Amino acid sequence: MTITELKVRRDSILQAITKIENGAQEYRLGQRTVQRADLGTLYGEYNSLNNQIDQLERPAATVAFLRRRR
């Protein structure tokens, strides 16, 4: 998935979380219907997507090896 696709998916999951927290008993997410009992699953997926987005946006680490002078 591209970073844009990940962000779109994350935003739709956040929308579902918000609706359920505000009293909706279920929410339709694409072809899938999510019920209030699935709120923990939505939080898990939301956190997972955030981690994936962070990894893609974070620059790669650079490692330098320094030798001792003799």
From first to last of its 70 residues, what are the pLDDT tens digits of the chain?
899 999 999 999 999 889 888 887 877 888 888 777 788 899 999 999 999 999 998 877 777 777 887 7
pLDDT of residue 45: 95
Residue 70 within any structural domain of the chain: no
Beta strands in the chain (DSSP E): 26-29, 32-35
pLDDT of residue 21: 86
The token pair that represents 38 in the structure block = 């699935």
Alpha carbon distance 23, 16 (integer Å): 11
Segment (H or E) for 11: helix 3-21
The domain tally of the chain equals: 1
Residue 49 within any structural domain of the chain: yes
Residue 15 within any structural domain of the chain: yes
Number of H helices, E strands in the chain: 2, 2
Residue 20 within any structural domain of the chain: yes
pTM: 0.70
Residue 34 within any structural domain of the chain: yes
User: 33 - beta bridge partners?
Assistant: 28
Residue 68 within any structural domain of the chain: no
Stated length of the chain = 70
Q: In terms of residue numbers, what domain contains 47?
A: 3-57
